[in-house]
Amino acid sequence: MPSLDRCVEDGQQFPDFSKPVCFGIFRWMKINKAWHEQHRMPKNPSFEQRVKWHLGHQQHCSCRPIPAKLAEEMKKKGIKS
């Protein structure tokens, strides 16, 4: 499995998301950098905070899907993604 450092230049605090980026074997679309800068995930988020952030993220950015474990919990609780 390729590592992140093979996809992103060394020394960057954040990857250059103006191009598709690969994380492991996955390759995602362009990131909405402005949305990410304005909508940081809270530190130690609650389930509700994670859901709210990921639903907003899904609407405004296509860099990655909702994590599988979170999507599964959302489905169990009847929350549509």
Here the tokens at position 26 are 């996955």
User: For residue 28, what pLDDT band results from cuts at 50, 70 and 90?
Assistant: low
In angstroms, the CA 71 to CA 59 distance is 15
Tens digits of residue pLDDT in 1-19: 334 444 444 444 444 555 5
CA distance linking residue 66 with residue 56, whole number of Å: 11
Report helix, strand or coil for 24. Answer: coil
> Is the distance from CB of 63 to CB of 30 less than 8 angstroms?
yes
Other CB atoms within 10 A of residue 22 CB:
15
Average pLDDT over residues 41-52: 94
pLDDT tens track for 65-79: 899 999 999 999 999
